[in-house]
Amino acid sequence: MNIHDYVNYLNPQNKILLEEYKKANQNEMWLTTIILSLTIIDNILSDENNLDYIDGLDINHFKNSRDFHWLRFRRNQILHYEGPKDGFLGNKDSANVLKKDSLRADKIIQKCFVDLFK
């Protein structure tokens, strides 16, 4: 299933964020997709209404996953400058690094939807 198949589970704010995420992916806005993917996931995890159909054990398992921690770390690298990072070095490979990271972020958000809304 596609993450857009889960739109009925989302609150109004997350529905808009998901539409922005989709547009960012289509327009190859790699940084934006990384940032929005974690924003959407955080919104899902903090929405108390989701507890009606998401198991707490699944939330805990996802929050402790290696991928979730990588996504938070990578998003923080993007938003908080602490020196040069991969993807921001201004060389020919920078765009490829960001695209690769965006693809990984997309896999993580898809896994989130599948694991939590099963």
What is the tens place of the pLDDT at every residue in 41-56?
999 999 988 878 888 8
pLDDT at 103: 97
Structure-token pair, residue 21: 């995420």
Per 3-state DSSP, what percentage of the chain is helix, strand, and coil (rounded to 5)? Answer: 75, 0, 25
Asked whether residue 36 carries a pLDDT value surpassing 70, the answer given is: yes
Q: Which three-class secondary structure state does DSSP give residue 94? A: helix
Supply the mean pLDDT for the chain: 90
- Of 10-24, 72-86, 102-116, least confident by mean pLDDT is 72-86
If phi > 0 it is left, if psi is from -120 to 50 it is alpha, else beta; for residue 101 that is alpha
pTM: 0.89
Q: Which amino acid is at 74?
A: R
